[in-house]
Amino acid sequence: QIQVIKIETEDNRETRSAKDALLLWCQMKTAGYPEVNIHNFTTSWRDGLAFSALIHRHRPDIIDFSKLTKSNAAYNLQHAFNTAEQQLGLIKLLDPEDVNMENPDEKSIITYVVSFYHYFSKMKALAVEGKRIGKVLDKAIEIEKDIARYEGLVSELLDWIENTISVISNQKFANSLLGVQQQLQAFTTYCTTEKPCKFQEKGNLEVLLFTIQSKMREEKYRLYVPTDGKTISDINKVKIRSAEHHVSELRHPWLHNHDGMVHHDNFGYDLPAVEAAMKKHEAIEADISSYEERIQVVADLAQEMESEGYYDICRISAQNDNILRQWNLLKDLLRGRRGRLEQNLSLQRIFQEMVYMIDWMDEMQVTRGRQARDPGQKSGSHDRPGP
């Protein structure tokens, strides 16, 4: 057994003989222990401290080296031999009196020390292997935790999406302009605050999945593939679909409502009525102008869905184009109605001016008639009366 002991020194990497290698191993393991100075396999072991130091180096939990003294050789030897037998399972090859003598048998001590060497070398190998296995297990546990976290986050995000879809789909649209405005404002808040956070969560999930799969490739594990219903594509499929559908449904009544309003040219038949119609039209213009940003939300959502590769993007694009077409038509109708209103207003002002002129001429005719009947009467003002 001693022939297999080989130790390479750090300075010259010289391979030593079995006996020298064993001696060097003992010296290395007991270096720093007080009163221990191993230079042979005879007298260096007489006081029992060398055996105790070897055991303490590898198993400090089973022997208290600090309580041992050089003067108590018999106790030291007996304690070391008993500990090795009872705690390490090493056969007791020597008795204290076999070692605590003038010239101990070198071969017997070497044989016993070799049993220490093999035991502790195996223990070290097992410890190294245990650490390696521990690292593998730690990595596997870490990956499993990441997978569990990924699936939990995916489930939470999908639950949020489904809940949002349910809320949006079941929402009843208001019949009044104010109600529609409030609903649009709520949806705009959703688009600018809540939804971006959820998109960030989706990005984090993509990074986490990539990290999990990278770790598994590194460890040569079979790659984790999310089950149906927990993939990124599942999130993409439902991420915006219902929200966009809701937007289109919400926009259409509002657009149709205003479209009907701007088609009516019942401005009234006198100047006060037309002036009132102009003020009402200006209010409509202000209201419609306030929706410019909200209409843009629709276009942005459609663009976002297209970049996400949404499977039904053709339908969404058609909806978006229809909304924008109605919006542009509404603005054109609004401009045309304003032009007609301005013309009508100008015409009513001309009519009003004509009424003033007719009244003035009637008044002048009455005045001239009085003057003809009574030449002495002073004429009134010949100036045209003001309006």
Residue 87 is assigned to a structural domain of this protein: yes
What is the model's pLDDT at position 115?
93
Residue 387 is assigned to a structural domain of this protein: yes
Among 127, 6, 109, 129, residue whose Cα is nearest residue 58: 127
User: Rounded distance, CA 202 to CA 157, Å?
Assistant: 8
Residue 124 is assigned to a structural domain of this protein: no
Domains held by the chain: number: 3
CATH code for the domain of 253: 1.20.58.60
User: Rounded distance, CA 111 to CA 95, Å?
Assistant: 14
Same domain, yes or no: 246 and 370: yes
Residue 122 is assigned to a structural domain of this protein: no
Whether this model's pTM surpasses 0.75: no
pLDDT in tens, the chain (387 residues): 444 455 544 444 444 578 888 999 999 999 999 999 999 999 999 999 999 999 999 999 999 999 999 999 999 999 999 999 999 999 999 999 999 999 999 999 999 999 999 999 888 887 777 777 778 778 888 888 998 998 888 888 888 877 876 776 666 655 565 666 676 677 667 767 777 787 788 788 888 888 888 888 888 888 888 877 677 666 666 555 555 554 555 455 555 555 555 666 677 778 888 888 888 878 777 777 767 776 777 777 777 777 766 666 787 778 778 778 887 888 888 888 888 888 888 888 888 888 788 888 878 888 887 777 776 555 444 454 555
CATH code for the domain of 89: 1.10.418.10
Residue 127 is assigned to a structural domain of this protein: no
Same domain, yes or no: 358 and 223: no
Residue 277 is assigned to a structural domain of this protein: yes
Could you tell me the sign of the dihedral formed by the alpha carbons of 285, 290, 296, 301, in that order? negative
Same domain, yes or no: 247 and 234: no
What is the model's pLDDT at position 14?
44
Last residue of a domain, one of 238, 257, 286: 238
What is the model's pLDDT at position 322?
79
User: Rounded distance, CA 369 to CA 373, Å?
Assistant: 7
Among 202, 256, 210, 265, residue whose Cα is nearest residue 234: 202
User: Rounded distance, CA 44 to CA 306, Å?
Assistant: 84
| Rg of the chain in Å (alpha carbons) | 50
- Is residue 161 classed exposed, middle or buried when 0-12, 13-18 and 19+ CB atoms within 10 A define those classes? buried
Residue 8 φ then ψ, to 5°: -100, 130
Same domain, yes or no: 180 and 88: no
Same domain, yes or no: 42 and 98: yes
Same domain, yes or no: 380 and 310: yes
Residue 121 is assigned to a structural domain of this protein: no
Last residue of a domain, one of 213, 238, 263: 238
Same domain, yes or no: 16 and 151: no
Same domain, yes or no: 286 and 368: yes
> Which residue segment(s) compose the domain that 147 sits in?
132-238
Same domain, yes or no: 137 and 207: yes
Same domain, yes or no: 191 and 51: no
User: Rounded distance, CA 274 to CA 216, Å?
Assistant: 77
What is the model's pLDDT at position 329?
82
Same domain, yes or no: 245 and 386: yes
Residue 113 is assigned to a structural domain of this protein: no
What is the model's pLDDT at position 262?
61
Same domain, yes or no: 234 and 296: no
Last residue of a domain, one of 86, 104, 122: 104
